[in-house]
Structure 1
Amino acid sequence: MSHAMPYPVMPPTMYNPTYTGEYTGEHTGEYTGEYTGGYTEEASSNAAPIEGPEDKTNERSFRRSRSGCFTCRLRRKKCDETRPTCNSCGKLALRCDYKPPHWWATAEERKKQKQRIKDRIRQTKVMEKHGSLKVPTSITTPVSPYDISIKTNTYINNVPVPNQSPVSVSGYNMMNPPQQQLPFTQPSSTPQPLATAQCLPAQQSLPTPQSASTEWFNAPAAYLSQPQPYSPMDAVGFGLPGRSLSWCLQTMVPIEESDKPLLNHFFDYVIPLVFPIVEVNHGGPTRVREILNALQNNKSYLHCCLSVAAIHLKTSMGMEDQMDHDIMQHRYEAISQLCRALNSKVGNSQMQVMDATLGLIFYHSCVGLPDDYLPDITWYSHFQAVANLVKKLNYAPTQFNVSLITWIDILGSTMVGETPQFAHTYRTKHLSGTPSGLQPLMGCDDRIMYLISEIACLESLKLEGQLDDMIVRHHISALSAQIDWTEPADKTMESPYNAAGVIVPEKLTKILTALFRIGARIYLYSLIPGFDRHEPNYVNLVASVADTLQFLPTGASGFDRCLVWPLFMAGAHSISSSKLRKVLAERVSALGYLGDFGGFGRMYRVLKEVWRVSEGSTSSSTSGSDTNASTQVNPVQYLPQTRQYPHWRDIMRKNKWDYLLL
């Protein structure tokens, strides 16, 4: 984002360049610029030597491992037997198996696996050598209007607030007389997380869009059109009933025969999986045409999609490391083609780079494994390159790219605790009522997403120590009031299906927006100094997420995978007795393998670790309190204290989980 990334740098053996200008082989540890090239045709020939049994010196130095992992046994290398991944496999990004893998059964399978390992080591070495980038010192071309960064000193006066009475925020002592305290009025659709508390002066009033949707969405007619109810049973082929998408498009993309199964898998399984809301809103055919055009004319995008298809095959078919070679081959080729496109003088090369880089971010976040051990570039490194590229464009990106950039920028900023790259642009759009196309893409009202951007700005300033507690509460009051303004006039929730069993997009959007609204409230209130998740108001707010989920179907036909961010915010601030945890576990089980990968699988993995660590810290705190109580005599000492929990972001950082939870 706009500040130094707090995440630790990946080990030198991992492919973790810093997007800046070109691949140079220097591991700077930061990602700060843009792609400008670097991979060459001679890359593989310059790769570092590959370790292997042919190395006589190593054979004399190390004896063959007979009790270590099977990968080291196959390579005839000494294994330190560290679990779950030994040091040798970890350095080379190899899968470490202590149980006999499928390829251990026959000599022929071992030979094939050995060759796959050699190829993977070669790719890793090449990526190490050519994987770092230099930082451009400045951006010389004029920028507009995407190059507007947030000005922290004007944040207070730039948050739009309704012209109404002052509001109050719980979480601090009530110091004013009772007549100066006002209850915080909360819409009835969600529990009231704010009770009576010290009143803060209202911010100066700024123009606020009317609540009527037709006045807010000052957009082209395409955004205002009312689509007809959509049946998921007609989704096959995106409007081609009875025909698969691959059957219709298999001859339209020039590709090697060996890669056709991956491309067909991408068409038939990955596209419907990653764009469920687009499909419901009848945008599937348009999106497919855009994807097809990119596949035909953008080699980097093509190999990105093939790599993603291999990842999904690996997950859905339980193929373990059988697909690793295909994943790395196409991932490596995607980066190589990306650099060639940057060095190209063709007029549309910048847009090709943007399409491919956004694909590398978005598709991988949708199908990536929680425990992906293969070398890759972090999502925020990719996105920094996209942001710098946008700032250099003399024309706006495509509408779909604008929507995708906004989605990644806003929710990604909450992952790293930093200001969104284009925060001021979102603020301007919020004030003017201009949508970014988020609702038809991911199901949430654009206004909620803009307010999440403002909350991320507030958290960034708080983490930097630029705001004292009173100012933080003041902002929370203003933003909470703004969230109220997004409440619909009719707060009634109902199933998104009509009597004929067909999904009505408007009903579905209402439910998804409500869940994102609750998630935004939880995220906002977690910034209150002294926040305690055990307070009844917050417990009820988290419980309302579980209640709202009941309106959506479970399993593969549901939309749980579209709700990764709000479910994460609610789950990360839930208590052990929260019914949300039980509901979430049931819905994960109903999803089957679909709940094991992508943003949803990663989200649930983080939540389980957050819950484990939090319950451990609570037990330690309780034990310590009991010990102190037995040695104290004065009951005045037994005042309740706010429980201290490790922040979910610290847990992710400790485990090196650079996840983008969309």
Structure 2
Amino acid sequence: MAVAQSKAQKPASKACSNANSNAAKAKMQMHRRSRTGCYTCRLRRKKCDEGSPSCTACKHLGLRCEYKRPMWWSNNDQRLLQKNNIKTIIKRKKLSEKTNTSSSSLVMTPGAESPPGLCHSLPTSTTFSDSLDRTRSASIDSQLSLFDFHPPPTIVEYPTYSSQMPPHSQYAPVYPEEWQPYEIDVKTERQMFVNDVPTRRESTISTFSSYYAPASAESVAPPFQAEHAWEEVYDERRESLTEESMNVPFFDFAHAPAPRPQVAVDLDDTDQALLDHFISDVLPSVFPVLEAGQQGWAWNDYVLPALQSNKYYLHCCLSFAAQHYGATRNAQGGQIDEKMRYHLHATISELCAALKRDADHSSMLEATLGMIIFQCSVGRSGDAVPEIPWHQHFQPASELVQRLELNSLIAQQHDFKSFNMTLTAWIDILGSTIQGRAPKFADAYREKHLSPINTSLGLRELMGCEDRVMYLISEIACLEALKRDGMDDMELCQHVHSLGDEIGLTEIGETGPKIPFHSNGVLNPKQLSKNMTAAFRLAARIYLCSLVPGFSPSQASCVGLVEKLTRVLEFIPAGQYGFDRSLVWVYLIGGSVSTASSSFRSFFNERMIELGDLSDLGNFGRVATVLKEVWSHVDGRHSPGGGEAHYVSWRDVMITKGWDFLLI
């Protein structure tokens, strides 16, 4: 009986076990079902509605919705990086919505915030009978209304970019695939000769990463698989590189680009290390605006081909690479200084020999311009470098431009695409303001500006400022040269009035600066250019105002211009990957007339801190040195009663100190 009962209990026990097993399986399935959803929501620990093809949360935030296990899920470091990237995107999304909401209440009619012309009433002959008398000119605001601008905008009109957006470098991890670093291969070939007989041959390749990927001739943006929420990112990036971009590609380069960026040159070990340093450390800081808008064209189509086909250019680059290496690695002296002097001497010697032969004009111009522009990115103001002043290089460069007839092509009624001529114009226009002379090719710029057809020289693509504003800066430089030659004060003010109106015409339709990023963090090159143009435009007004007899930085109108310039500069990305080093001339003009109480000074100091060690390098470090010296003179010459500040010209300070900088 007991045995029968035991046998009867076994099936019951087995059934119970099966029931428990089924319950456990069901519980596990329920547990698994509760853990389903996209991996992005899992990472955020948010509930996922499992929408197709993208869940609601990911679609709203513009995140990539992944239901298939991604590679980063199994790696803790990559998972943490992905989580931080998502947090950045969410923060930026909320910030963008907040900014758009604030901006909607500040809609202004086109040109509403544009200041009127520089002169509202012209002076009589008696007004300027003693115009150079600083005491009698102290009340020039009330006499002539030459600076009668609208008050500077309040902080509400220009939401502070720096305080709302994270540093530019924080956007790097969340850029789309085509903005991830790409590789540049530098190929070095060596061959051993024994009694002039070639023997062993060696070839090595060094690889470098660039932050910007080179664009191809067939497509504007490199294709990648756009799926789910990334379609929005791809569309915005494509829009940024087409309708809102800088004419890609704008320039016709002298060298044919290689299908893959590669440099094949025969160098010894030390020179190879210098070339590596030039490509990885120097080159990215030379044309940041061009790289932002053209996506690798400067590298692939201009610099890298020139390195392997132009011996003058190669020596030039190696000399500046040595100077930069010595300054950044604290390696001055010894072999580095010897290499710098060797390549500098080789560049100058071979250029002089080529000038005598009257040959290789294009290659010579390329190297001569390199001798000027690369110096702007390397060295420090106090470096003891056997440096030839930039304007001594520019003299043969301008002669080469004339021999190649590049200047005569500027006035043609179409977009001019010679990179070397555009680079020449950039140096010529802003360099003329440094020296107080008229630009070499001012007539060509004037003809281009007055042309009924709106054609471009490519200055916006190269350095960020609209061509027409640069042409007006050229005109202001011409006016300053005429003033130094003794132009009558009344005639001077008439020209000031006319140029002020011309500057005002460039503001028609402009609505003020905006954050130059899309909601997903992708840089908008066109908006960046608009912001930079606004900064150059205000600096041009300040430069023009400084030509008026009796000018003083403490005049309310000048103070207002400087404050407005500060607000605009807040919309320029800062830091190592920002564009402050492309605004050296703007900082020079605005900072030189900023008073001790101006917010410009604290803003400039903040930008220096964000640049870190780079703030002391190249032209940004030089302009900081000049401004510091100007401010020490201005602040030290205040009247005891706290009256008007004296005007100390930055140019006079540079002459006194023996500084011969090209601050562009």
- Quickly name the TM-score band, shorter chain normalised: 0.5 to 0.7
Give the 5 Å matches for 1:646-657. Answer: 646-657=648-659
Distance 1:560 1:489 in 2: 26
In structure 1, the residue matched to 2:312 is 300
Does residue 399 (structure 1) correspond to residue 424 (structure 2)? The answer is no
The equivalent position to 1:388 in structure 2, one of 385, 392, 399, is 399
1:525 alignment partner AA: C
- SS of corresponding position for 1:613: helix
Equivalent AA in structure 2 for residue 244 of structure 1:
S
2:449 to 418, 430, 446: 430
Gaps in structure 1 of 5+ consecutive residues: 1-163, 192-228, 627-639
Q: Which amino acid aligns with 2:438?
A: T
Q: Alpha carbons of 1:508 and 1:188: their partners in 2 closer, same or farther (altered >3 Å)?
A: farther
Change in Cα spacing, 1:399 to 1:647, as seen in structure 2 (3 Å) is same
Counterpart secondary structure, 1:557: coil
Bigger radius of gyration: 2
SS of 1:565's equivalent in the other structure is helix
Matched residue, 1:357: 368
Q: Distance in 2 between matches of 1:592 and 1:654?
A: 29
Q: Structure 1 residue 443 and structure 2 residue 464: aligned?
A: yes
Offset, 1:289: 2.3
Q: Report the alpha carbon displacement of residue 239 of structure 1 after superposing the two structures with TM.
A: 12
Any residues of structure 2 matched to 1:592-607 within 5 Å, and which? 592-607=612-627
8 Å CA contact retained: 1:300, 1:336 = no
Cα distance between partner residues in 2 of 1:325 and 1:402: 33
Please tell me whether the aligned partners of residues 358 and 386 of structure 1 are also in contact (alpha carbons under 8 angstroms).
yes
Name the CA distance, whole Å, in 1 between partners of 2:476 and 2:626. 22
Q: 1:522/1:238 Cα in 2 relative to 1: closer, same or farther (>3 Å)?
A: farther
Match of 1:144 in 2: none
Distance 2:567 2:647 in 1: 25
- Residue 318 of structure 1 and its aligned partner are, at CA, apart by 2.7
Distance 1:166 1:415 in 2: 22
Q: Deviations over 1:204-257 (max 9, x none)?
A: xxxxxxxxxxxxxxxxxxxxxxxxx999943544899x9526997565223233
Q: Deviations over 1:127-184 (max 9, x none)?
A: xxxxxxxxxxxxxxxxxxxxxxxxxxxxxxxxxxxxx9995269999979xxx99998
Which residue in 2 is equivalent to 1:168? 120
Give the letter aligned to residue 598 of structure 1.
G
2:589 to 537, 560, 569: 569
Offset, 1:372: 2.4
Is this contact kept in 2: 1:230–1:505, CA < 8 A? no
Taking structure 2 as the reference length, the TM-score comes to 0.61
Amino acid at match of 1:484: G
Post-superposition shift, 1:461?
0.7
Q: Which position in structure 1 is the counterpart of 2:552?
A: 532
1:570-596 deviation per Cα after TM superposition (whole angstroms, max 9, x unaligned):
000111111100000011011011111
Asked if 1:234 is matched to 2:180, the reply is: yes
Aligned pairs, how many?
Answer: 437
Q: Does the 8 Å CA contact 1:250/1:264 hold for their aligned counterparts?
A: no
1:462-491 alpha-carbon deviations (Å, 9 max, x no partner): 0111x1111111111100100011114141
Q: Contact between 1:189 and 1:491, CA under 8 Å: does it hold in 2?
A: no
- Counterpart-to-counterpart distance in 1, 2:559 and 2:349: 50
Query: Which amino acid is 2:547 matched to?
Result: L
Asked if 1 retains the 8 angstrom alpha-carbon contact of 2:464 and 2:532, the reply is yes
CA deviations over 1:400-439 (Å, ceiling 9, x no partner) = 0111110000000000100111111100000013321100
Q: Which residue of 324, 327, 345 corresponds with 2:340?
A: 327
Q: Check the 8 A contact 2:584/2:619 in 1, yes or no.
A: yes
Between stretches 528-537 and 366-375, larger displacement belongs to: 366-375
Closer, same or farther in 2 for the Cα pair 1:394/1:376, shift >3 Å?
Answer: same
8 Å CA contact 1:238, 1:279 repeated in 2:
no
Aligned-partner SS, 1:244: strand
Correspondence list, 1:469-480, <5 A: 469-480=489-500
Deviation, structure 1 residue 338 = 1.3
The alpha carbon displacement at 1:265 in A equals 1.3
| Secondary structure of the corresponding residue to residue 573 of structure 2 | coil
What CA distance in whole angstroms lies between the structure 2 residues aligned with 1:589 and 1:171?
Answer: 45
Q: Distance in 2 between matches of 1:255 and 1:457?
A: 46
Consecutive unaligned residues in structure 2, runs of 5 or more: 1-115, 129-142, 155-174, 187-206, 214-259, 410-416
What letter is aligned with 1:360? M
Residue 244 of structure 1: aligned partner = 209
Query: As a proportion of its length, which structure holds more strand?
Result: 2
In structure 1, distance between residues paired with 2:544 and 2:209:
44
Instruction: Tell me how far 1:392 sits from its aligned partner.
Output: 2.7
Q: Distance in 1 between matches of 2:117 and 2:373?
A: 42
Residue of structure 2 in register with 1:485 after alignment:
505
Partners of 1:183 and 1:417 lie apart in 2 by 22
| CA deviation map 1:11-46 (0-9, x unaligned) | xxxxxxxxxxxxxxxxxxxxxxxxxxxxxxxxxxxx
Note the C-alpha offset of 1:189: 8.3
Match of 2:631 among 608, 611, 628: 611
- In the alignment, the residues of structure 2 paired with residue 166 and residue 594 of structure 1 have an alpha-carbon distance, to the nearest angstrom, of 37
**Superposition TM-score, scaled by structure 1 size:** 0.61
Judged with a 3 Å threshold, the aligned counterparts in structure 2 of structure 1 residues 236 and 612 are, in CA distance, closer, same or farther, namely farther
Aligned residues: CA RMSD: 3.3
Asked if 1:368 is matched to 2:379, the reply is: yes
Matched, 1:560 2:580: yes
For the 8 Å contact 1:262–1:306, the answer to whether it is kept is yes
Shift of 1:377: 1.0
